Amino acid sequence: MAHCTLQTARHLAARGHQPLVIAPAGATATTGSASTGDPCPVVRVPSLPLPGYPQVRVALPGRRLATALTGHRAGLVHLAGPFVLGVRGMALATRLGLPAVAVYRTDLAGYARTYLGTGENTAWRRMRAVHSAADLTLAPSSAALRGLLEELRPDRLEVSDRATLRWTGEWARRARVPAVMVSHETADGVLRTWGVPPAAAGRAADRLNTLSAHAYARIVCTTESAEREFVRTGVRNVVRAPLGVDLERFRPGLRSTALRTRHLRGQDVLLLLGSRLPVEKRPGRALDAPAALRHTGVRAALVVAGDGPLRAELERRARAERLPAEFLDHVRDRDRLARLQASADLCLAPGPAETFGLPGPLRHPLARRQQAVNAVVHALSGRYDTVHLHASDRAWTEDRSLWSVDRLHPGERGHRRLAADFHRLLAERGPALGARPAHEPGQPPPTRVAGALWPATRGTGWPARRSTDLLPQLLGLAAAEAGHQVRGTSGQLDARAGRALAEALDGLPPAPCLRGFVPRARMEG
């Protein structure tokens, strides 16, 4: 609800409107005063925690609501949560003669049943009264939404709910309205988390996906795994469109050594979980990570940026298992969250289904090897006090002009950027000699024709070589992983990898005595 309200306010502000958000104050927030944060002012009103889910605040009606609404000279009232605060907002809108839009987004009656154990019928009566009085109701219920579609007659339709809203595709087809369905996760993966046997989950997913593809003009998949699930049934109206990232706000260049050191608290690897903490998000898996890494000799600290019903239980578990976990509550400052993500070695996204495309038999062994490589490299860097360049921190990873034609290796400009960065690090340590390497190459870049001809001539050797070394190794890793999964002995692979990493770290030679020695390096442009 909060995210949708934020996006609505940003949308209105970008189009010249002047929205005002009235929201419940947090446990430590100041009430009454209007904040001037992006994208619009926010007025906080007194609130109480919801019993059973104290992280959810229930706003209390009062005079501040009327004062804020009349002072802002509003022309429309948008009720994002029409229950307690929304009831008062609807009454004020009626009294002031203002049009009102009520949004049915959250099953508040279900909240009452789950967290209070009573009050479900009362909640339904209050919501029904508010939505009946509103000029327009936006709701995911089939009846309300069907009536809304008939009234609005949209010329385009986009649906992200593959279950309860799948019927809208049939409506769009009969109304001759182009419609698309967005698929993020695999249906069989979600069904398996509900306890459905894999074979039955696969058959049900295939049937559901076939019906969806028939109802919608296009199926937009944000991951390769979701796309494969549709393609395997012969569906052809599938388009893959990966999700984007706000690279202006969330970028590797925000990495902060001071912030990283503060949260590491003496550990070597920093993990970050940015998520709400309800049951369906499986946040306990995040605590599994530092526990498992500890058994392999990797000292990892976990930072949890989020809040929810399971927080107290997670904190108790962290204390009982002596896990280095730090809980930050909900991080409202997006810039702070961006710095946290950039400073972490790994951001965790525990979820009920696979969403990143790689199948488990490949994902698990590659993750073990990546973990081992990172651990050894960092150990060597710390032991020998080397100059350690984190290439992912640099902006060149986002500039395609710095990469070669195959998009797998840096081109000349990329190598020059790396050389310049190494020169900077050496200069900070003292031993760098000579001028800083130039960023721009001395020769003109390859033409488009040369770039197009390279894969068909010199580039043909690369896939041939990879077919004899990389591909067989990947197939061997996947076969071994799949065999252990069938036998239920995947833990043996984890233990074997942990022992190999521990032996590698123990086998590192002691750091040489470099007292009085000043390393020198010469880098030419």
Q: Are 418 and 410 in contact (CB under 8 A)?
A: yes
pLDDT of residue 339: 93
State how far the Cα of 400 lies from the Cα of 411, in Å rounded to an integer. 9
Task: Flag whether pLDDT at 393 surpasses 80.
Answer: no
Bridge-partner residues for 179, per DSSP? 157
Written as one letter, the residue type at 9 is: A
pLDDT of residue 304: 95
121 or 226, greater pLDDT: 226
Task: Flag whether pLDDT at 347 surpasses 50.
Answer: yes
Q: In this predicted model, what pLDDT tens digit does every residue of 354-366 receive, in sequence order?
A: 434 455 566 667 7
State how far the Cα of 151 lies from the Cα of 138, in Å rounded to an integer. 12
Q: How many CB atoms lie within 10 A of CB 500?
A: 14
Task: Flag whether pLDDT at 343 surpasses 90.
Answer: yes
pLDDT band at 351; cut points 50, 70, 90: low
Token pair 């001037």 in the structure block, residue? 36
Q: In this predicted model, what pLDDT tens digit does every residue of 199-257 receive, in sequence order?
A: 888 888 898 899 889 889 999 998 888 888 898 888 889 998 887 778 888 888 899 99
CA end-to-end span of the chain: 54
pLDDT of residue 300: 93
Residues 338-357 have a mean pLDDT of: 75
- Which burial class, exposed, middle or buried, applies to 14 when counting CB atoms under 10 A from its CB (0-12, 13-18, 19+)? exposed
pLDDT of residue 109: 58
Task: Flag whether pLDDT at 36 surpasses 60.
Answer: no
pLDDT of residue 415: 85
Task: Flag whether pLDDT at 172 surpasses 70.
Answer: yes
Angle at which helices 167-174 and 198-215 cross, to 10°: 20
List of E strands, 236-379: 238-240, 269-274, 300-305, 325-327, 346-348
pLDDT of residue 520: 41
Backbone angles phi, psi at 276, to 5 degrees: -65, 165
Tokens (6 digits) for 201: 């989950």
Tokens (6 digits) for 416: 């020059």
**Does the pTM of the predicted model rise above 0.85?**
no
pLDDT of residue 523: 38
Tokens (6 digits) for 366: 């590659």
pLDDT of residue 118: 64
pLDDT of residue 359: 56
State how far the Cα of 289 lies from the Cα of 374, in Å rounded to an integer. 15
| Local structure of residue 409 (DSSP, 8 states) | S
Residues 485-510 have a mean pLDDT of: 72
pLDDT band at 148; cut points 50, 70, 90: low
Q: In this predicted model, what pLDDT tens digit does every residue of 406-432 receive, in sequence order?
A: 555 777 888 888 888 888 888 887 766
